[in-house]
Amino acid sequence: MSEIYRGKCLVHYGQVALWDREDKNSYPATDGPLPWMGAKGICVAARNDTEVEIQVLTGEDPDDEGAHIVAEATILVGEQGLQTGNVTTASVVAFPWPKGEMKVTVYCNSTDKYGLDATCIWFVLEAVS
């Protein structure tokens, strides 16, 4: 497993996302309950009004007994890589990732199957093309 990013972000509105940095409209549409998925991003639930740990990994699943899958999607990534965090608090970090299709599997440590009380989110990335 390779760790691309590890850090904390302040969460408001109970959501953490991973989305394309190049396309300013890539954040998933806020349509119904979380998770939200779009062509260029994915957004999942997290504990509200607190700091949540985010890890972006490649390769294997998280090495944590409490981690379980809350969402999976294939998204498109542009020339500028990806960003992750919470847009409502501007607690966002960008990092490089190759252009093309990418499979994202999202895990959390929540006791709730939807991740509503998650304090750690793992985005596991796998290049498709």
Per-residue tens of pLDDT for the chain, all 129 residues: 699 999 999 999 999 999 999 999 999 998 889 999 999 999 999 999 999 999 999 988 898 888 999 999 999 999 999 999 999 999 999 999 999 999 999 999 998 888 899 999 999 999 996
d(CA 122, CA 62): 7
pTM recorded for the entire structure? 0.94
